[in-house]
Amino acid sequence: MSSVNQVAQRIAAIERRFTPTVPATQASNDFATTLSAANAQLSTNSPNPTTGSSTQGGDVTKMIQIAAAKYGVDPKLAMAVAEAESGLSQEAVSPVGAVGVMQLMPETASSLGVRNINDPRENIDGGVQYLKQMLNTFDGDVTKAVAAYNAGPQAVKNYNGVPPYSETRNYVAKVLSLAK
């Protein structure tokens, strides 16, 4: 029976470690008050649909501008890619597994040094870095770089320009229009 008590004590100790502590002023509140406070906190951390930002993740637009300056990319172009890729949504995940604001594939993100693809700052930094790589690969040709961001650089090389994929052609037109 002693081992059962030890297990029960260990479980209680673990539960205490993971149970949030409630301030003494809140401990006496009823359930409705506690629920209202939790809902209020959740609403302040939810994404803002007009700017694609949240109070936790910071301002997506600002993060894109910072990354664009860091890598010497036109901020309008970086913003246009982000808008076309995800609508500036930090939570976007494509059917093929691209993640975040810049819709990075896990392998690409890893090759760019992105440790947490779901962190908006890292995702944006990696995406803008990749966009800069594509611009360098195609000697500053924005159309080819944007096509490569969408279809991959090898496809652009194979076709010596924008590949004949309707998705890529539509994507390039959208990004170039947004970047004006």
Contact 109, 117 (CB under 8 A): yes
Catalytic status, residue 15: no
Residue tagged active-site, from 83, 85, 91, 167: 85
Cα–Cα nearest to 120, from 85, 71, 171, 96: 85
The C-alpha atoms of residue 156 and residue 71 are separated, in whole angstroms, by 22
Its sign, for the CA torsion 30, 32, 37, 41, is: positive
Which whole-number Å values give the CA distances from 160 to 84, 109, 114, 138, in the listed order?
A: 23, 25, 29, 10
Contact 133, 146 (CB under 8 A): no
Structure tokens given for 101: 């604001």
**Which residues participate in catalysis according to the annotation?**
85
